[in-house]
Structure 1
């Protein structure tokens, strides 16, 4: 009887393990630079809980949530457990997502010499009080700046566990989907932006409403990583124009990538034809007609480089195109993120040069499902 009970208890775990063992992606080409660079770095990493309250800014009322006089930011910091100072990267999650979906990037980047902070934004994460609200994205660049302030202060405190861990002269921002838009606003917006940010990686971030004026005169490094099979933030309107809009702007495209596949939690969905089926369901059920209808007006004016006449075709494709395995997509995302931030923020010129060659030449040569574009 005891053996029978043990078997019954272990059957669900075995079933889950079996599902996870199915549909693993093809490995990267053996002995390739891509396979070598995908390996975790030599640095041991530590994870530190973050629970901060920005008392200088309120959280708006939302649905049945009456609002709050502060913005609560809870998440984690991943950092090399020895040495320093290292560049600081601030990660922003997508709509109806949370900071844990960026852990696969944070862990990899930390092992290669980056400090990575990620928190849940108060009103756009999955469990937001009153339900996730897109319009709060205009407050999220301020969350990034607040994080930068707090972490630089801790690095300057000789008695803190993060003492001398962060180089305040090397700061980057990245995010997925609405988080990609947040990172772009934090890097370039004339009023929301933070001049301390040197490099921005937007992963499938909405950008169709940005004109070239929005990016003009700003030397912040910018790369868009986008997916050709993305049905939530379509590639044609949001990603393809980037090299023409942004001085020095770069675009890396995954030919069969999905939008939802950039989120770490989707590793469970690798058996799906296209995980955007779930992504569309999650986003659509949390956008109320009317309340979110005019949120784009909050982004800025035409004089600031905002063109709200651009059409937004959210989940308009049916049937969904087949997408690449999400584990493959996330492996490629690690490669692109590390190369971009090493090229932009590394101290040694040789490290920057090697990352530049890998990103623009080696990576697309070794992996045909990926392409690279920059303004000639």
Structure 2
């Protein structure tokens, strides 16, 4: 730990250590977390905490003791000064088509879409972003807006498990969001979701005809898919993950048009997902999880991010990455643009780290930018994330 620690700072760090003693960390882990916590609030990096930095640390500790999941975590990373790739908005101006009901005549349904694109003329890679269970096309804007500003078209479908599709009478059937998420209404959508994304990709030509502002803006040779939680499950299926069901050997819903995939909070093994299910995921892949990234999966709740990390462990080597964000909860500081019980605190640094890493990943594998490729292979993230995250690769 750095020198020149004044007595006020020392007092706060002792309080921090006592707070961490109730978290289940070993002594060695507590001291490492303590160092990370101190460095997090040393925002100017001068090796000591100013009165303002101490006040922010004290406020954080008070909230952590009262409710470890609710207290907002103030930012310590200054966009543009982090040394991280793509940590500030890009040069493109985001524009949005708020709602379009895409007809899927072959299945007799419509798929609500939100389409975001750069206002500037050009041809841009496409990202289809998949919301979590119960969500909608309105979720994920803290990510999507950033990605579009860096020169991507982003399409967000609303899937059949969305709460927004329930009538008032249907909503009364569920006492909580948790009850809804674990209901058959949600769990049976696992196969429809990839088919919805495929319908979106099949419709790109017609979308350009329907919306002249999209004409020649989508580069159909550069397609990525991303997803959070249940959306990560959808993304894994589209990338080649196999479902292994009783009496049916395997099911694959892979779409070869997917050139790169981002899975935020992927599903670990259980039910139809076995350890070998991940080995068939073939495109370049970025997975994201963290310490407190919980799960409703029976028997897995105590494992949290370690359970989700097993998805990365099962990947075959070759352009595969894992971003681990320390202390992150399931909402990673606010990436969905909404909050709920168990989502975790607001944490701008976590949103920044995901946006930065995802832009580096898609720039490397969809735009083929050498600087991004070199960044992913370097230790720049570990050096500049101020102890908040680490990157694994294979």
Report the equivalent of 2:284.
221
Among 317, 322, 337, the alignment partner of 1:251 is: 322
Report the equivalent of 1:230.
293
SS in 2 for 1:25: coil
Partners of 2:233 and 2:194 lie apart in 1 by: 9
Give the TM-score of the pair, scaled to structure 1: 0.69
Structure 1 gap segments, 5+ residues each: 1-21, 58-69, 270-274, 280-322
Report the equivalent of 1:206.
267
Change (3 A) 1:111 1:244: same
**Does 1:374 pair with 2:374?**
no
Partners of 1:24 and 1:236 lie apart in 2 by: 22
Report the equivalent of 1:345.
366
Which structure's CA Rg is the greater one?
2
| Residue 160 of structure 1, CA deviation | 2.4
| Residue 159 of structure 1, CA deviation | 7.9
Give the TM-score of the pair, scaled to structure 2: 0.66
- Asked if structure 1 preserves the Cα contact closer than 8 Å seen for 2:142 and 2:335, the reply is yes
**Does 1:193 pair with 2:254?**
yes
Change (3 A) 1:364 1:207: same
Partners of 2:331 and 2:211 lie apart in 1 by: 41
Report the equivalent of 2:188.
135
- Asked if structure 2 preserves the Cα contact closer than 8 Å seen for 1:184 and 1:202, the reply is yes
Aligned residues: 287
SS in 2 for 1:185: helix
Report the equivalent of 1:176.
228
- Asked if structure 1 preserves the Cα contact closer than 8 Å seen for 2:95 and 2:118, the reply is yes
Partners of 1:25 and 1:194 lie apart in 2 by: 40
Query: For 1:148-172, what per-residue CA distance to the aligned partner results, in whole angstroms no more than 9, with x for missing partners?
Result: 12124434x5982211111111101
Change (3 A) 1:241 1:221: same
Report the equivalent of 1:290.
none
Query: For 1:21-65, what per-residue CA distance to the aligned partner results, in whole angstroms no more than 9, with x for missing partners?
Result: x9462231572222x7221100112101322121212xxxxxxxx
Structure 2 gap segments, 5+ residues each: 1-70, 172-184, 242-250, 297-303
| Residue 241 of structure 1, CA deviation | 5.0
Moved more, 197-206 or 254-263: 254-263
Report the equivalent of 1:110.
148
| Residue 186 of structure 1, CA deviation | 1.1
- Asked if structure 1 preserves the Cα contact closer than 8 Å seen for 2:279 and 2:314, the reply is no
**Does 1:242 pair with 2:291?**
no
SS in 2 for 1:184: helix
SS in 2 for 1:133: helix
Aligned-pair RMSD on alpha carbons? 2.7
Report the equivalent of 1:9.
none
Moved more, 214-223 or 199-208: 214-223
